[in-house]
Structures are given as structure tokens and as C-alpha cells.
Amino acid sequence: MGLPTRPLGSSGFNITTVGFGSWAIGGGGWAFSWGPQDDTESIATMRHTLDLGINWIDTATVYGLGHSEEVVGKLLSELPASQRPLVFTKCGLRWDIENPMQAAERILTPKTIRRECEASLKRLGVERIDLYQFHWPDEKGTPVKIPGARW
């Protein structure tokens, strides 16, 4: 018996009602870390969740200042395409590499989104991201416009 699934909006994806959140596997040394983590154990944990039927992994550029996406990418590289989970990641939080303990800046300009997306694709080792989201509204005033949205 598999885990229950629900449609993800109109995407055509049916996702399990629970996924794997990878914030903690980003490791330590940054402002919102959960402390040091063992990458081998993190990969084993993700494999176990996939074996249990979870079909998506949530990560973000900022988790571990890119490290979480690298660990997810390592897992993905070890799986045949038919066994790969959906990959969801996020953008919009830019950190200061010189001061990783400082809170990330919320910025969503088209240029930064493009840059973050390209970097995420490389770290994840994929050609596409199944769901790309932003973490927080931009604090610099960049408007978010969604065609047809009524807010």
C-alpha cells in the first residue's frame, strides 16, 4: 500500500501528503542551521523516506548556503531516473558569504532569481526543477505579479 497522494495544483503532479524537508541536512555554520550533519546519514535518511513511498524532496538555496541542494543532488545522482523523486526548491534569500551567521536578505529581482535558479540546477545536478518557489516576499520592493491573480 502506497502513501496517499494529492494533486499539486494544476501541475499534473500527484504528490504524497508528506515529503522530505531538507533544511537540517544543510549542516552547520550558517545563521539558521540545525547544527552539523553527516552527509552520508542524510542521504541514507532520504533513501529510507523514498523506500517508504515519499515522492518529493523540498530544499532551498539558502539551506546550508547551498549545501542541502548539493546533498540532495548527490542522492539524485545515485538513483536511476525512474526512481527519482520530484524536487522542489526555493529562491529569494541571498546570504553574505563573508558573514554566514547574518540573516539572509530577501531579494526577488529577475536577475537574482535567474542566478539562483542556475546555481540550484548545478548543485542539484538536474535539468529542471519540478517546483520553484520563493521563500518570502521581497523586502526591497520588487513586486510579485501573477497573471490572473486577484489579491
Q: What 3-state DSSP class applies to 121?
A: helix
Give the confidence band of 132 by pLDDT, cuts at 50, 70, 90. Answer: very high
**Residue ranges of domains in the chain, CATH in brackets:** 16-134 (3.20.20.100)
Predicted confidence at residue 82, as pLDDT, reads 93
Instruction: Answer for the pair 113, 144: CB distance below 8 angstroms, yes or no.
Output: no
Task: Read off the DSSP letter of residue 130.
Answer: S
Tell me the pTM.
0.92
Helix (H) or strand (E) holding 91: strand 86-91
Q: What is the pLDDT of residue 149?
A: 59
Backbone angles phi, psi at 90, to 5 degrees: -135, 160
Residue 132 annotated as catalytic: no
Query: What helix, strand, coil percent values describe the chain, rounded to 5?
Result: 35, 15, 50
Q: What would the pLDDT profile of 50-76 be if each residue is shown by its tens digit?
A: 999 999 999 999 999 999 999 999 999
Catalytic residue (choose from 30, 56, 63, 95): 63
